[in-house]
Amino acid sequence: MRDSRETFVNHAFVTGYPIKHSRSPLIHGYWLKQLGIEGSYRAHEVKPEDFSTFIAELKHGTSGFCGGNVTIPHKEVARRLADRPDDLCLELGAANTLWIEAGEVHATNTDGRGFVANLDERADGWDQCSTAVVLGAGGASRAVIQAVRDRGVKTINVVNRTVARAKELSDRFGSTVHAHPIEALGEVMRGAGLFINATSLGMDGQEAPQIDFTVLASGAVVTDIVYVPLKTPLLRQAEQQGFAIVDGLGMLLHQAVPGFELWFGRRPFVDANLRQLVIDDMGSHA
């Protein structure tokens, strides 16, 4: 009988298509080494047409993996194929973390937990605000909206160029979430305590619009899910206008914590060394 999960070797994965640029192996590899755990975590590219076979092999134990992470374009299919999706990923309609338990594939989504853990670490007290603004209504917005709602923020205004997509999110997440067209951005920002960019604006040097953040509440926090570059154009604007900013890198780091604990039996910590390791890697690929 095994005394500890550390006495045997587990292997975990991150899968997507493509997947070669994922930084998850760097993150989990750091923790495996730091905690002295025998095991592995590697990128495993799977084409969409092969994904159901991959999940079947995971379930039957023939893949060699105990679980792993799922990213684009497999998140929604992973939720559908899982035997035991939890309430979080059922509401989101997407899973990013899988594990095997009693011969069944369990699924959850840790993106929202990563988002709020990042804010907790870098902007303590952010959740005391009553109103948040989310720019963007794409797939990344779902976990953000769910997590902010579940922390008790009473009003979440989702602003999007296509208002119908924002309306889909308000229908999904309930009466605290409200849909608005992009033209209403300045109006709904007035007095808000949290501004979240959940679009790809500013990613990899792309241009971003000028935004007047001064209409936000005094002491408001501005955050971005984009982390390349670390300080996006929108974050630079907000900082220049006197607001506290939180970059998106911590979301990537913190969302990885629950999965690692599930697969390897120890809860890791996001520390300054790990953050710098990923920043250095970002710089080497710039």
Q: Is 109 helix (H, G, I), strand (E, B) or coil?
A: coil
**Which residues are 133's β-sheet partners?**
157, 195
104-108 vs 131-135, strand pairing mode = unpaired
Give me the catalytic one of 20, 47, 59, 75.
75
Beta carbons of 122 and 83 less than 8 angstroms apart: no
In sequence order, what are the residues at sequence separation of 6 or more whose Cβ sits closer than 8 angstroms to the Cβ of residue 225?
Answer: 115, 140, 144, 196, 197, 198, 248, 251
Burial class (CB in 10 A: 0-12, 13-18, 19+), 54: buried
CA distance 242 to 257: 32
Active-site residue 231, yes or no? no
From 226, 227, 268, select the one nearest 28 (Cα to Cα).
268
Alpha-helix runs per DSSP H in the chain: 24-35, 51-60, 75-81, 87-92, 111-122, 139-150, 163-173, 185-189, 233-240, 249-264, 272-284
What distance in Å separates the CA atoms of residue 53 and residue 16, rounded to the nearest whole number?
14
- How many C-beta atoms surround the C-beta of residue 205 within 10 A? 10
Residues annotated as catalytic (active site), given as ranges: 75
